[in-house]
């Protein structure tokens, strides 16, 4: 009985007193990007609910690995959490071969924040107007069509790689230092196409600076009902949803994870935030830590196979 009491006291204290000081929210990318912006929007709302400040701390570098490792190595007390993203949680372990953290064992999922499809876009003056145009041209001249991306191993490149693997075509990857640079060169006509995150592509599409060809979600987006999905065009496996959610160091007490999960779920009900997320073409997340864990596991299996089949290596 004494042993049981000693085990339960810290857990009970964590549940009843947490949080009693500011929480550090690590973003593994630079300020001003989508992960940073969403983290700050949620931090404001969750701070009110938890009655403690949530301070966003940007730790960019190495494809998200530096910031994610920082979270993995932090004390599991709920005062350092992170924004966990598609690449560092589901891609980089296979891409880099070895990491200084293990996404499966060193981190505890808290909640999925959002998922967002990508759109295959071309320059408005491009001769390619349909997926079939691209596939036909690529098969006629293998290795001549080009696609841009924001770097090796990100969702831009992996979406194109998945497309190539499911159509049997070969194209040339042109990586840039950022997604915005890749998009700028596409609009200038220097590359043929790009798979861009929807939140990024929407303004340029509406300004007629890009032409959308297809979307990587299962169904069409209500924002662009005339743009078909890859699934309806005969490529159901070309489904990509760029996602992110909150994570904590492994070993963080379950009551703390549950308290953070509850606050985030409540924050995601905010009408203004929901309107913003939906206007960017995203699917709003939510749910349990187990739901997010299952997504991460499924995505890691999927993208590990794509990276290996494409023989993709880091820069």
110-142 as b/e: b if 16+ CB within 10 A: bbbbbbbbbbbbbbeebebeebeebbebbeeee
Correct CATH for 117-215 of 3.40.190.10, 2.40.30.10, 3.90.1150.10, 3.30.413.10: 3.40.190.10
H or E element: which one contains 46?
helix 34-50
Round to whole Å and give the CA distance between 155 and 31: 19
Check for a shared fold between 2-115+242-309 and 117-215. yes
Supply the pLDDT for residue 4.
46
Write down the residue that tokens 């992170």 correspond to: 82
pTM of the model: 0.92
- Residue-range domain boundaries for the chain: 2-115+242-309, 117-215
Correct CATH for 2-115+242-309 of 3.40.50.300, 3.40.190.150, 3.40.50.150, 3.90.950.20: 3.40.190.150
Tokens of 114: 């959002």
Q: Quick check: helix, strand or coil at residue 11?
A: helix
Supply the pLDDT for residue 193.
98
Q: Which residues contact 12 (CB under 8 A, 6 or more apart)?
A: none
What DSSP line would sit under 62-120, residue for residue?
GGGHHHHHHHHHS-SSSSEEEEEEHHHHHTHHHHHS--SS-TTTSEEEEEEEEEEEEEE
Tokens of 48: 């009110």
Nearest to 167 by CA among 203, 119, 135, 212: 135
Q: pLDDT per position in the chain (315 positions), as tens?
A: 444 445 455 556 656 799 999 999 999 999 988 899 999 999 999 999 999 999 999 999 998 999 999 999 999 999 999 999 999 999 999 999 889 999 999 999 999 999 999 999 999 999 999 999 999 999 999 999 999 999 899 999 999 999 999 999 999 999 998 888 999 999 999 999 999 999 899 999 999 999 999 999 999 999 999 999 999 999 999 999 999 999 999 999 999 999 999 999 999 999 999 999 999 999 999 999 999 999 999 999 999 999 999 999 987
Supply the pLDDT for residue 13.
60
- Quick count: other Cβ atoms within 10 Å of Cβ 293? 18
């Amino acid at each position: 009985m004494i042993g049981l009491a000693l085990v339960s006291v810290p857990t009970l204290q964590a549940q009843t007193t947490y949080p009693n000081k500011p929480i550090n929210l690590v973003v593994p990318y630079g300020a001003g990007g989508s992960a940073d912006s969403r983290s700050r929007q949620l931090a404001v709302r969750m701070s009110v609910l938890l009655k403690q400040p949530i301070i966003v701390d940007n730790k960019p570098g190495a494809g998200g690995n530096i910031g994610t490792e920082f979270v993995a190595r932090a004390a599991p007390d709920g005062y350092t959490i992170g924004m966990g993203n598609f690449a560092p949680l589901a891609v980089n372990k296979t891409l880099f071969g070895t990491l200084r953290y293990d996404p499966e064992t060193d981190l505890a999922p808290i909640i999925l924040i959002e998922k967002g499809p990508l759109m295959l876009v071309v320059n408005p003056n491009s001769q390619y107007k349909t997926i079939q145009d691209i596939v036909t041209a690529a098969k006629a001249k293998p290795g001549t069509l080009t696609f841009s991306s924001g770097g090796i191993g990100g969702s831009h490149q992996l979406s194109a790689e998945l497309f190539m693997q499911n159509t049997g075509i070969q194209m040339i990857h042109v990586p840039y230092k950022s997604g915005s640079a890749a998009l700028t060169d596409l609009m200038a006509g220097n590359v043929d196409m790009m798979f861009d995150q929807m939140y990024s592509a929407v303004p340029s599409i509406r300004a007629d600076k890009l032409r959308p060809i297809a979307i990587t979600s299962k169904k069409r987006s209500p924002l662009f009902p005339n743009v078909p999905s890859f699934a309806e065009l005969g490529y159901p496996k070309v489904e990509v949803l760029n996602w992110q959610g909150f994570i904590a160091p492994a070993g963080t007490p379950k009551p703390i994870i549950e308290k953070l999960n509850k606050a985030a779920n409540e924050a995601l009900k905010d009408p203004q935030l929901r309107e913003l997320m939906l206007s960017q073409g995203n699917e709003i997340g939510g749910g349990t830590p187990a739901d997010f864990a299952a997504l991460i596991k499924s995505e890691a299996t999927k993208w590990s196979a794509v990276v290996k089949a494409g023989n993709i290596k880091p820069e």
